Structure 1
């Protein structure tokens, strides 16, 4: 699953000697560096989670070598040289270690039971990993369980397992409280009713005994489409179009092909809009227009920042 010469995948965490933990966001190296975003900093012996603005400010002031401007994507993110990685936190290895021992807390105990339920419904345990706060042992009483599923087919099977387990009351759909909590973290530009409608039909989130869990997909390397195009940003735009292909709707980044000659592709780097629309549906999209400098072909990118202010994808429904 991992390449020997570049063993880094999205949803991994990498830790540096300065007490910084970055979340990997890219499958491929960027000028021999690992594309990532700073997520945790060490503060008086504790790990503190920070947002994009805090991360950029901290790196600009103290560690500018980790700031990175991608010429290919005309985007700014963070990047770390492999030789600066002190610890490489790998989700599949950590999940195995959690399953192989007694649970350290209530969240780990629920995680162990969740995996048992998913495997009962046909999920291959070898396709799973554990990311988020649990990957670095920073979970608290109210933490979510963030699972990684490796491979598109394994992810489809895991979503189906979640749907079936919810129907048979082995797991529960998000109640109002958990959905509101999810909305507060990720709602972005949608109102609560819009957000909840989209979320409820994805089956990439549910709950076990009141604890929310989330499944996110990481593609197998043979499933990736290598994009060597060079993009130039051209401002923000809004459009409506029919989704004609949703096969990569749960990928990272999510990709939707739409019936729009000028802008045939919508890309989302924001988890909120993963799995947001299905083929045949009309969507409204607000995002950053990017133009391929060679062909002139455009695409619309949602999530040009993690918080995606002013950017969204929503299905146009007859309410």
Structure 2
């Protein structure tokens, strides 16, 4: 934990911050408007299961879906409208509180280092420490490149909380993912794609209008989530640096589109946003971009996929730089999908 000051400029994807209302937000991505932070409101004071030091919280967003996000935006419009910002680069309203409203930041990397540096009697924290140390040893990635997010980051976790890990750097995240697979082979973790594909598919069926057998194919590829010591965990990446500075790229809508694409590069698919580089017959679409993180890491290089989402042109320096299919748009809520053919 750190008091907010010059540290605000150092906020990274998956870090948390607390505003004057004692609302806790989680940072989304690394491209932010000047004086604001793209984020999601996750916890507010209330008689909930989360808390510490006499403070108690309830969770605001229950699932990371577009429908839930729109509910949170409506809540903010009614209760603190200055936290909602029309971002001209994406031509949409986003949650982006002003930095002068931030009173405290929670750094994922520093929080994990703090937990690793001292013994703990908390069973959840013990499992976290054990998992990180095992992954670090097997992958060769120093614990300095790991962080912890979720409720453990602001220290308001409870006995049934999950472990939400982040790894910094594209090379590091894939090394750690291979270490996870090794732990699975040794029987130390159960990865979701093997342990509970039906559960993932059932949850996905409430989001995506495609048959269950297609969802099960996606579920079988989920290797960044699972169970360790009886505790659910997830693993995501944080980029070494932002994809670009805010205002350098503007996105314009070309309408909703259904296309078939071949996946050619998945290295950026475990970050926020998740990016799959693709090719199509016309050569016009360069990537699939997912802000719906349920679809992070579920495609493989060589997959032929059908995608329904928002077609966008990305503009830089007054010229069209690339085109992408966006999953996680307001316009496509409840209609977007990715299907492996």
Shared fold per TM-score greater than 0.5: yes
Is residue 99 of structure 2 the alignment partner of residue 74 of structure 1?
no
Structure 2 residue matching 1:80: 3-state secondary structure: coil
1:111-139 per-residue CA deviation (whole Å, 9 max, x = no partner) reads 12212221231332111000012112232
- Find the aligned partners of 1:20 and 1:178 in 2 and give their Cα distance: 33
- Call closer, same or farther: CA 1:235–1:256 in 2, change over 3 Å: same
The residue number in structure 2 matching 1:249 is: 269
Q: Which runs of 5+ in 2 are unaligned?
A: 1-5, 48-54, 62-68
Deviation at 1:238, TM superposition (A): 1.5
Q: Which runs of 5+ in 1 are unaligned?
A: none
Matches within 5 A, 1:107-126: 107-121=124-138, 122-126=140-144
Structure 2 residue matching 1:102: 3-state secondary structure: coil
- Call closer, same or farther: CA 1:200–1:177 in 2, change over 3 Å: closer
Bigger RCO of structures 1 and 2 (CA < 8 A, at least 6 apart): 2
Structure 2 residue matching 1:248: 3-state secondary structure: coil
Deviation at 1:186, TM superposition (A): 5.4
Which residue of the other structure, out of 313, 318, 336, is the alignment partner of 1:291? 313
- Find the aligned partners of 1:134 and 1:62 in 2 and give their Cα distance: 27
How many residue pairs align between the two structures?
313
- Call closer, same or farther: CA 1:64–1:17 in 2, change over 3 Å: same
Which residue of the other structure, out of 243, 268, 289, is the alignment partner of 1:224? 243
1:174-218 per-residue CA deviation (whole Å, 9 max, x = no partner) reads 388755555565552155554443243342122212212111000
Is residue 111 of structure 2 the alignment partner of residue 90 of structure 1?
no
Provide TM-score, normalisation by structure 1.
0.87
Deviation at 1:295, TM superposition (A): 4.0
Aligned partners of 2:287 and 2:323 also within 8 Å: yes
- Call closer, same or farther: CA 1:107–1:196 in 2, change over 3 Å: farther
Is residue 57 of structure 2 the alignment partner of residue 47 of structure 1?
yes
After TM superposition, the structure 1 stretch with the greater mean CA deviation from structure 2, 282-291 or 60-69, is 282-291
Matches within 5 A, 1:107-186: 107-121=124-138, 122-174=140-192, 179=197, 182-183=200-201
- Find the aligned partners of 2:212 and 2:160 in 1 and give their Cα distance: 21
- Call closer, same or farther: CA 1:185–1:129 in 2, change over 3 Å: farther
Structure 2 residue matching 1:119: 3-state secondary structure: helix
Provide TM-score, normalisation by structure 2.
0.82
CA RMSD of aligned residues (A): 2.7
Aligned partners of 2:26 and 2:41 also within 8 Å: yes
- Call closer, same or farther: CA 1:251–1:231 in 2, change over 3 Å: same
